[in-house]
Amino acid sequence: VDVGLRPGLAPDGPLVAVKAPVGSLWRLPGVDLQPGPEMRSTGEVLGLDADPAVAHARAREAAAAHSG
C-alpha cells in the first residue's frame, strides 16, 4: 500500500548499519550456501558505526561469534 512516504523526510543519521547473516551451515563441507528457506531463518546480526568499513567489520565479527 502506497502511503505517500518518500526518501529524504528525515535527515541522515550519523551511523551506518550493516546486516550480516548468521548460520552454522557455513561450517559444513559440501553444503550449498545459496540462500534458501532454511537460510532465512538462521538469523542475522547488525554492525553499527559512523565509518562504513568499521560497521562492516563489526557485523562480520558478530556473525563469526554467533555462527556456532
List the domain range (segments joined by +) for residue 59: 15-26+40-68
How far apart CA 49 and CA 44 sit, in angstroms, is 17
- Residue 59 is predicted with a pLDDT of 94
Q: Indicate whether 65 belongs to any domain.
A: yes
- Residues 4-26 pLDDT 10s: 777 777 788 899 999 998 876 55
Asked if the structure places residue 3 within a domain, the reply is no
CA distance 44 to 41: 9
Assigned domain for 9 exists: no
Q: Is residue 33 part of a domain?
A: no
pTM of the model: 0.61
Determine, yes or no, domain membership for 45.
yes
Is residue 8 within a helix (H) or strand (E), and if so which, with residue range?
none
The answer as to whether 66 is a domain residue is: yes
63 against 24, higher pLDDT: 63
Quick: pLDDT tens for 28-56. Answer: 667 666 656 555 556 889 999 999 999 99
